[in-house]
Amino acid sequence: MVESYQPSSEQTLDRDCTTLSRHVLQQLQSFGPEAQDLSALMSRIALAGKLIARHLSRAGLVADTLGFTGKTNVQGEDVKKMDVFANDVFISVFKQSGLVCRLASEEMDTPYYIPENCPIGRYTLLYDPIDGSSNVDINLNVGSIFAIRRQTNDDLDQSASDLLTHGRDQLAAGYILYGPTTVLVYSIGSGVHSFYS
């Protein structure tokens, strides 16, 4: 006798689930250009997080992913191989997006400009690609921290001094926590929201 499996109401797939993109648009209560841009930016950050999480989950199994590079970052900290990988992921995810004009991270001495995006990219992404990277080698949780700010014409002088501004100048901020479950937590000024992968 074969019994058919019937999922409980708690286990059924929610066909009307809220995606990150939809959630951002609902929070902004707008479908205007800036709301769509922020939704797309958050989706790109989530993509970077998924790629980093996948790499982290196999870090001990893949050759040449753990340990130090022999370099130090702008904070004077030893750079781990995973720091470099995660920074490269953020750059590659945003380089062709047309959304950002520059990226700034503690793994780079100066902001990374995307000249072909500058006429259209209206935002700057500031991030720490792997916060707590010293925990990678001992299999403890690490995360990525990010903030999005509006790019102004004054910023195009290649100066990084404008990045040190008040938190109220940010459009969005959050973090991604990597572990058994990857969690993206963000705020765009009205509450704090989390998404799990």
* 24 inside domain: yes
Determine the average pLDDT of the residues in 162-189. 87
pLDDT score recorded for residue 154: 56
Secondary structure (DSSP) of 30-49: --SHHHHHHHHHHHHHHHHH
Structural domain including 124 reads 20-155+165-196
CATH value at residue 183: 3.30.540.10
Closest of 140, 143, 141, 159 to residue 151, by C-alpha: 159
Only one residue has tokens 């953020």, namely: 90
* 128 inside domain: yes
* 185 inside domain: yes
* 10 inside domain: no
Which range of 34-38, 42-46, 130-134 scores highest in mean pLDDT? It is 42-46
Which range of 18-32, 135-149, 168-182 scores highest in mean pLDDT? It is 168-182
Answer yes or no: are the C-beta atoms of 178 and 143 closer than 8 Å.
yes
Record the tokens describing residue 186, joined without a space: 């963000």
pLDDT score recorded for residue 83: 86
* 62 inside domain: yes
Determine the average pLDDT of the residues in 80-103. 89
pLDDT score recorded for residue 4: 47
Overall domain count for the chain: 1
Q: What is the largest CA-CA distance in the chain?
A: 75
* 111 inside domain: yes
* 60 inside domain: yes
pLDDT score recorded for residue 122: 85
